[in-house]
Amino acid sequence: MSGTADIVPVTLHGPAGPLAAWECAPLPAVTVRGTAVLVPGFTGSKEDFEAMLPLLAAAGFRAIAYDQRGQWQSAGPDDPAGYTLGDFAGDLVGVAEQVSSDAPVHLVGHSFGGYVARAALLRNPERFRSLTLLASGPSSVRDINFPPPQLVAQMIEAGGQQAIWEQMSAAMTALATMTAARQEFLHTRILTTKKANLLGILRTMETPADDAAALQASGVPILVGYGDTGDLWSPDVHERFAADLGARRVVYAGVGHLPNEERPQQVCADLIDFWSEVDARV
């Protein structure tokens, strides 16, 4: 579309192999204000941020989203042991260094991507200007409307990627934004994502991070954004977590676990406002 920045496929380097990414850079007439890296969650991919990337670029932020190791179009090991939180966090730190070697980046993590973002920030806080946790609560074993990770892993061990698709597809089909083409893509994506990725993430989910104090002590500004209807974590859990983090908080009325897809314009407006405030302090 004329006047709108294009999303360009790029390949980033990861210790486990190439990482597929999308980049959306501001048009030449737009002043570049910084770089943002967006990290998808469990069963997700860069496509989860498709509506957001051009909006962020229009505001002057070079925006990069990538498939984590073993997700969709990214390479990854065939052994679940190669998908520890440390592995994911190391990939993210490497991505930040590749896309912005001379300045810290604004970091956005959706759901499990928020866990990865938290771990990466604590590993190398100097690489990140801010952290946004989007529909990403404190833990996957406490205060969450999600089956125990061990049970989900057993289901995948027995039935493969198709088994988790059958569990998730009913909820996905109910989304107002869902089309037949989108549903077909999501099905293909889950079947293509490595089984080892899914099992490795579920193993990682079994151990709560309990990192709120360390994140707050890092001094990196934090934003917590979530919907108030049907997210995996109830609003009061998100609210408590934001308080523990000393974080700014935004709530999306009538939205569940996918504010990035259901309210991309509002999410981007909140991100731009938050990042502008953070950058003004520097």
pLDDT at 1: 41
Place 172 in a pLDDT band, splitting at 50, 70 and 90.
low
pLDDT in tens, 78-135: 999 999 999 999 999 999 999 999 999 999 999 999 999 999 999 999 999 999 999 9
Residue in the block written with tokens 């990627």 = 161
pLDDT for 269 beyond 70: yes
pLDDT for 31 beyond 90: yes
Over the chain, what is the mean pLDDT?
Answer: 94
pLDDT at 178: 72
Q: What is the 3-state secondary structure (H, E, C) of the chain?
A: CCCCCCCEEEEEEECCEEEEEEEECCCCCCCCCEEEEEECCCCCCHHHHCCCHHHHHHCCEEEEEECCCCCCCCCCCCCHHHCCHHHHHHHHHHHHHHHCCCCCEEEEEECHHHHHHHHHHHHCHHHEEEEEEECCCCCCCCCCCCCCHHHHHHHHHHHHHHHHHHHHHHHHHCCCCCCHHHHHHHHHHHHHCCHHHHHHHHHHHCCCCCCHHHHHHCCCCEEEEEECCCCCCCHHHHHHHHHHHCCEEEEECCCCCCHHHHCHHHHHHHHHHHHHHHHHHC
Mean pLDDT across 235-247 = 98
pLDDT at 183: 87
Mean pLDDT across 66-74 = 98
pLDDT in tens, 195-239: 999 999 999 999 988 999 999 999 999 999 999 999 999 999 999
pLDDT at 174: 62
More confident residue, 68 or 171: 68
Q: Record the tokens describing residue 179, joined without a space.
A: 């089309």
pLDDT at 182: 87
Q: Which structural domains are found in the chain, ordered by start?
A: 8-281 (3.40.50.1820)
pLDDT for 179 beyond 90: no
Nearest to 260, CA basis, from 48, 18, 26, 3: 48
